[in-house]
Amino acid sequence: MYYAEPVYRPPSEHASLLIQASVGCSAAAAGRCHFCNSNVFNQTVPQKKFRIRPTEEILEDIVRGRKLYGPQVEKIFLLDSNAMVIKSRELLKIVRQCYEMFPHLKQVSCYACSDDIIRKDPAELTELRQAGLNLVFIGLESGDQQVLDLMNKGATVENQIRAVIKANDAGMRTSVSVILGLGGKKLSEQHAINTGKVITAMNPSYLAALTLMVVPGTVLDYMVKERTFELVTDPLDVLQELHLLITNIETSWPVVFRANHASNYLSLRGNLPEHKEQMLGSISNAIQNPARLKSEYLRGL
């Protein structure tokens, strides 16, 4: 099977069969997202340059996957960083082939940029969901427009909200990720408050909070070295951001919240709104007892 290493998948897809549908990220190819290693790889690693693989090759890989792993596969993740960019007609062929080859399949998922979803008609999204593309991962990163612009995310807050609501309305489950510390010291408070408010407006099925780690060679790395971006370096300040973020989430429908990514200082999980007070209490407790936090050298492991 073909893989353009290193591949990108959400941590929760560690047990899924990975199918390389697209390579790299179309946003990275446009020079977006100053914090992201896709951007660096797009420029420096030839096999990671953004492209969509020919559908026939993807379909053949799915057949190979069946030969290699048998019929028992239950989850498939379509690599790489925004397979949703693929035209709906081709994506449908890919998703249908997945279910034809794997009779026990329960889930096909992929990453999506908000533009990828907005570009598709509601009817196309519904057809994709009915075919079995039932989970999309979307990087919100921040609900604050100033932070998105500073990081050159190339997306408006309005479009990020629209995209998630559109996918929700098509019956897809949506998993949204945000990055603590992305506003630096200067925008820390508004980043947390506005991100909480945007999550409230989107009401995704899942929310994942990561903590910023500066990738060498990115524009953000340069900004830090040039001192035009001041990192939130104190873990307690990161926790304050997390506290403020969760405080501002008032969703109507349940959101499964996870902050158990390797980049985080404190591992946290629970359902919102059910466990909101409990999680806020855990964060406050960790702020009072910093010995509970992950050491800096262990982050990312």
Report the residue count for the chain: 301
CB-based burial of residue 202 (10 Å sphere; 0-12 exposed, 13-18 middle, 19+ buried)?
buried
Cβ proximity to ligand SF4: between 178 and 192 the closer is 178
Q: How far is CA 126 from CA 69, 77, 120, 171, in A?
A: 29, 19, 10, 7
Least Cα distance to 248 among 143, 171, 93 occurs for 143
Q: Which member of 23, 33, 101, 110 binds ligand SF4 (CB under 6 A)?
A: 33
Beta carbon of residue 188, minimum distance to ligand SF4 (angstroms, whole number): 20
- Taking CB under 6 A as the binding criterion, the range among 26-34, 83-91, 160-168, 209-217 that sits at the site for ligand SF4 is 26-34
Cβ proximity to ligand SF4: between 142 and 168 the closer is 142
Interface with ligand SF4 in residues 77-96 (CB under 6 A): 81
Q: Which member of 73, 83, 85, 113 binds ligand SF4 (CB under 6 A)?
A: 113
Cβ proximity to ligand SF4: between 127 and 144 the closer is 144
Which helix (H) or strand (E) segment holds residue 26: the answer is: helix 26-29
Read off the tokens for 275: 């466990």
Interface with ligand SF4 in residues 6-25 (CB under 6 A): 25
Q: How many CB atoms lie within 10 A of CB 183?
A: 27
- 163 in contact with ligand SF4 (CB under 6 A): no
Q: How many CB atoms lie within 10 A of CB 141?
A: 25
Q: What is the binding site for ligand SF4 (CB under 6 A)?
A: 25, 27-28, 32-33, 36, 38-39, 81, 113, 139
